[in-house]
Amino acid sequence: ARGLPAPHAPVWFMRQAGRSLPEYNELRRGISMLDSCLRPDLAAEITLQPVRRHRVDAGIFFSDIMVPLKLAGVSVDIVPGVGPVMDAPVRTASEVEALVAHHMDDLSPIAEAVGIVTRELASTPSGDASWTPLIGFAGDPFTLAAYLVQGRPSKDHLAARAMMHADPASWDALL
């Protein structure tokens, strides 16, 4: 921030770095975003690419905020140039009830990918540390619920706001 030299590149500067790397584009060619997130070998490799190339101060786990929805049985796709699009928005009390009753699918691909990444990061020096940290991220309940109700990205979230006011019990259950 002060323009002074640093021993490594700050990780948040590199949040989207992987998407500009030729090796990322080659690895992802023909594979959807969410499928890439749920393949442990790909998620791990994509996480590690910016760390290797730019020696950032931490790795950011390659994932997407839509992964929990996909694992909850929601038919969602990340459409290039649009963002997350649901096959069917969740707008009624019965649709909310069916969704929240669904048990998450197998989470082992995420655990496996994290294991691969942490093993490699533990052997990758970062600055004075003997290991490089791994950062994860997640979507907050409002964001995921708004996408579910809207069915796609929205600047005004009218459908979500309508549900909040018209059916607060369903909105609360969805959150």
Of the candidates 53, 57, 49, 51, which has an alpha carbon nearest to the alpha carbon of residue 24?
A: 49
Set 28, 52, 53, 161: catalytic member = 28
Half-sphere exposure of 71 (CA within 13 A, CB side): 18
* Nearby residues of 105 by Cβ (< 8 Å), 6 or more positions away: 70, 71, 72, 73
**147 belongs to the catalytic site:** yes
- Among 24, 57, 91, 147, the one annotated catalytic: 147
Among this protein's residues, is 64 annotated catalytic? yes
Is 28 a catalytic site residue? yes
Query: Catalytic residue among 15, 39, 55, 161, which?
Result: 15
How far apart, in Å, do the first and last CA atoms of the chain sit? 37
Q: Report residue 164 CA to chain centroid gap.
A: 25
Query: CA-based angle 148:150:156, to the nearest 5?
Result: 130
Is residue 19 part of the annotated active site? The answer reads yes
Specify whether 35 is catalytic: no
Burial of 169 (0-12, 13-18, 19+ CB in 10 A): exposed
State how far Cα 63 lies from the chain centre.
Answer: 4
Q: Which candidate in 24, 57, 64, 91 is catalytic?
A: 64
Residues annotated as catalytic are 15, 19, 28, 64, 147
